[in-house]
Structure 1
Amino acid sequence: MTFIHRLSLALAALFLSGCDQPAPTVLDQQLYVWQRQWTPAHEGALRQSRGDFSSLRVLALQAFPGAGWSRARIDAALLKADGRPLIAVIRLDGQLKSLDQDDVIAQIQQLLGDWQAQGLAPVGIEIDHDAGNARLPAYRTFLARLRQTLPATLQLSITALPAWLSSPELPELLKTVDSSVLQVHAVSDPRQGLFDAEQARRWAERWGEVTARPFYLALPAYGVALLTQESGAPMVESEVPIDRGGERRELLADPQQVAGLVMKLRAEPPRHLSGLIWFRLPLVGDRRAWSLVTLGAVARGESLESRLVVQMEERDGLYDIRLVNQGNLDLPWPQRLTLAVSACDGVDALAGYTLQQTPGLLTFTRIQEGRLAAGAQRAIGWARCTKIDQGGFNVYP
């Protein structure tokens, strides 16, 4: 056998062995729209998200202890123009002492009627209720009754908690709905963190063994702040600022950690896993959510990279100094930035930074936390100098 013949056989064997490798599973990807008050920023966010996310799960209605019902002020025209399948999410606060089944069903039916009158045709509803394990039998009874009142064409799903895995009621509960959404973020003591990728995978695998119906995994694309109280118990600040002083500890789901989990789920998906639902649609200026650029990159399985550059725009000796993130990964504002300069007669830092001037050097130091979204830029100061060395800067994370 000639060398060329042996080489051809080896290459053929390599090719065939490569063909035997299973392709990664394609998981449906959806998006929660969780703002209670819609703004003009929703239009751009929905448009930019359309290519990566198949369906929208829209916060529609909430019941609060003592405060009663509250409707989210959605923009029906935007949702109708968007055209993606809609799932209306009804949030029933876990602190409710009990569920008034007649009232809840009446509220849901009224919501569906109002949406239809606005030209919206949801394909399903999702009940988001953080019921404790002791209340799961009553919750199952409610879901079975709700299922009977809904059109057969309308899918019924629930948000589910990992804690339910310890309840013998879970298998029967899951039989009352068409699918479930296992939430694996913000389900433990917040002081332990927002999300644990390995724990989330273990929960998903166990969930796939319990349910015989499709389930989705709700993944985080956001952050929160913990406020320390005198009692020692933390308060959680999310989309709505809490008017209270004191130390704030920022917690953010790490895009690279979440991306690693998604890669593993695609390679070896748990039984019955149908897709991923991302929480939540970010709007421009949302300081506690990943940017849409980063969220889209993670959803598509792209490599994540942040590329921070310093840009200086000069006009009549006045330099505007900006940080630009040219990558697809959001990143924190750098702790410190130094610039080599000559003969400056006026300098200043902008909000978030302070400035120290020494001979031949400007040093910008961060004095508050912040993040620079992928593809975004931020001015940090200005200087009137004879010269700024465009390559003479150092950035310290």
Structure 2
Amino acid sequence: MASASVGTAETGAFALQKDRRLRWIARNQRLMKRAVILLKLFLLFLLVCDLRAAGDAGVRKPFVALTQRAYVWQRVWSPALCRSVEANAGEFTALDVFAAEIGFQPSDTVVYAEPQWDLLNKSARAVGLVIRIGSCRSRFAVNSAETNKVVAVCRRTIENAMKHGVALAELQIDYDAATSRLKDYAQLLRVLRKEFGAIRIVITVLPTWLDSPVFRELAGIADGYVLQVHSLTKPASFDQVGSLCESGQSIRWIRAAEAIGRPFRVALPTYGYRVAFASSGSFVGLQAEGPARVWPTGTRLRELWAEPAEVVRIVNTTDLERPAHCEGINWFRLPCDEDELAWRWPTLREVMHSKMPMAKLQVTAERNRDGAYDLELRNTGTGRGKAGAVRLRWSSAKLIASDMINGWQMDRESGGTVVLRPLGGVEGALLQPEETAMIGWLRFDAEVELSAAENL
């Protein structure tokens, strides 16, 4: 009896334990099924969100890299410009080429550029043609003389491109209009839209236009616009020339443009101004391109440049925020070796890739035919730079003659050492990347080995 009771108790306990285990397994299976169902519902929710985003024009587009375009703004295609286009067009998505300029006031003129169409075709880049329109008081009524003139210039430009086999990606209108004239501008765009409906029409836009109640109408007629965030106001004095492009303000303008809800690009500067002041301090004029101007005697000159640090900040912020309607960047303008007031290629290439260009200056010495050592300042970096003092050392020879040029002076130290210094405020000490400048020469009573220059 006792043994039977024990066996029955053990059997009952085993059955109870087995029953609990089965219930635990069943409960976990139900939880797993619920988890799978919830996971499927969550994935379905994400899929629906993606589909809605893809079909809704008001929702941010999928990530697409910003396009990089460059303006070719030169009226005359010199050999240096042709080399630049041929060598570097591949860095960009498209080239926007200056094609013509229409003047109304004070003289009624039209100036056409003559691009090298074969190079544009060879570049395999998209091509936009830019028509520059000077300020005009016309209301641009249909069939008015001013309207017909703009239409005729646009037609000739388009036909010229077609004749040379260039597939025109867009026609860009750069009209120097006051904000109060935007209603008239909208009328002109309607005419151009009717005349050239098959061609994408883009307009250049000033930030002050964004607040105008007419601007949305204007932007709605065009296929897109290029927001120009660089400009120069009349300098207050030689010591207060202002800024060409300020990152904080530019970013605010880009955000305001995004709120308009129309496709746009951002025009960023790669150039500088040469600003002239009279000896009295009053503003005389400025130059941004072309051959060096001849200024009146006594004129003081200084240069104002687009600062890479400011432009990099704009590029980085735009890339980070990714405005839904921002299609890319237009660089003004394409670098060219003979263009003294534009960034060099190494600088622009760094900024395009969101990197900060850095100068790397050094002095080299090379013995010439006469036995003297020519001193040359080189910039082997990627940014503009101004040299400081450098020390040169040698041994077993006596320095017997020397001369410093281009704003440099020399201080002798004990033994075989001299210190070379740029005079204060000398622009000659400021070098572009890949640029060199002669700064003087040294002559010794015997052949020497000059040590590497050392920035102080």
Q: TM-score, normalised by structure 1?
A: 0.85
State how far apart, in whole Å, the 2-side matches of 1:119 and 1:68 are: 27
Which of 153, 169, 172 aligns to 2:217? It is 172
Structure 1 counterpart SS, 2:85: helix
Which of 104, 128, 132 aligns to 1:87? It is 128
- Residue equivalent to 2:402: 347
- Residue equivalent to 1:242: 293
Shift in Å, 1:358: 3.5
State how far apart, in whole Å, the 1-side matches of 2:427 and 2:452 are: 25
Where do 5+ consecutive residues of structure 1 fail to align?
1-22
Aligned alpha-carbon RMSD (Å): 2.5
Give the counterpart letter for 1:222 in structure 2. Y
- Residue equivalent to 2:19: none
Give the counterpart letter for 2:380 in structure 1. Q
- Residue equivalent to 2:422: 365
Structure 2 counterpart SS, 1:306: coil
- Residue equivalent to 1:222: 271
Shift in Å, 1:86: 0.7
State how far apart, in whole Å, the 2-side matches of 1:24 and 1:331 are: 36
State how far apart, in whole Å, the 2-side matches of 1:392 and 1:29 are: 40
Which of 133, 140, 148 aligns to 2:186? It is 140
Residues 337 and 30 of structure 1: CA distance in aligned 2, closer, same or farther (over 3 Å): same
State how far apart, in whole Å, the 2-side matches of 1:197 and 1:388 are: 50
Residues 344 and 285 of structure 1: CA distance in aligned 2, closer, same or farther (over 3 Å): farther
User: For the Cα contact (< 8 Å) 1:227–1:235, is it kept in 2?
Assistant: yes
State how far apart, in whole Å, the 2-side matches of 1:103 and 1:387 are: 71
User: For the Cα contact (< 8 Å) 1:339–1:389, is it kept in 2?
Assistant: no
Shift in Å, 1:46: 1.5
Which of 284, 303, 306 aligns to 1:253? It is 306
State how far apart, in whole Å, the 2-side matches of 1:85 and 1:37 are: 21
State how far apart, in whole Å, the 2-side matches of 1:207 and 1:131 are: 18
Matches within 5 A, 1:102-251: 102-152=148-198, 154-186=199-231, 188-190=233-235, 191-210=241-260, 212-228=261-277, 232-233=282-283, 235-240=285-290, 241-245=292-296, 246-251=299-304
* Structure ID, larger Rg: 2
Give the counterpart letter for 2:102 in structure 1. A
User: For the Cα contact (< 8 Å) 1:205–1:271, is it kept in 2?
Assistant: no
- Residue equivalent to 2:96: 57
- Residue equivalent to 1:378: 437
User: For the Cα contact (< 8 Å) 2:90–2:125, is it kept in 1?
Assistant: no
Write the deviation string for residues 71-95 of structure 1: whole angstroms up to 9, x where unpaired: 123222222222211100001123x
Percentage of identical aligned residues? 29
Structure showing the higher helix proportion among its residues: 2
Structure 2 counterpart SS, 1:192: coil
Structure 1 counterpart SS, 2:427: coil
State how far apart, in whole Å, the 1-side matches of 2:283 and 2:431 are: 30
Where do 5+ consecutive residues of structure 2 fail to align?
1-61, 141-145, 236-240
- Residue equivalent to 1:278: 331
- Residue equivalent to 2:111: 70
Write the deviation string for residues 331-376 of structure 1: whole angstroms up to 9, x where unpaired: 23x25444345522332334x2343463642534347414422233
Residues 353 and 387 of structure 1: CA distance in aligned 2, closer, same or farther (over 3 Å): farther
User: For the Cα contact (< 8 Å) 2:232–2:243, is it kept in 1?
Assistant: no
- Residue equivalent to 2:76: 37
User: For the Cα contact (< 8 Å) 2:389–2:419, is it kept in 1?
Assistant: no
Write the deviation string for residues 225-278 of structure 1: whole angstroms up to 9, x where unpaired: 222367945522111333323112311011122112211111112331110000
Structure showing the higher strand proportion among its residues: 1
Shift in Å, 1:392: 6.4
Tell me how many residue pairs correspond in the alignment. 369
User: For the Cα contact (< 8 Å) 2:206–2:227, is it kept in 1?
Assistant: yes
Give the counterpart letter for 1:29 in structure 2. Q
Bigger RCO (CA 8 Å, 6+ sep): 1
Residues 231 and 390 of structure 1: CA distance in aligned 2, closer, same or farther (over 3 Å): closer
Shift in Å, 1:318: 2.5
Residues 67 and 384 of structure 1: CA distance in aligned 2, closer, same or farther (over 3 Å): farther
Give the counterpart letter for 1:97 in structure 2. R
Which of 320, 330, 345 aligns to 2:374? It is 320
User: For the Cα contact (< 8 Å) 2:82–2:116, is it kept in 1?
Assistant: no
User: For the Cα contact (< 8 Å) 1:24–1:266, is it kept in 2?
Assistant: no
User: For the Cα contact (< 8 Å) 2:362–2:453, is it kept in 1?
Assistant: no
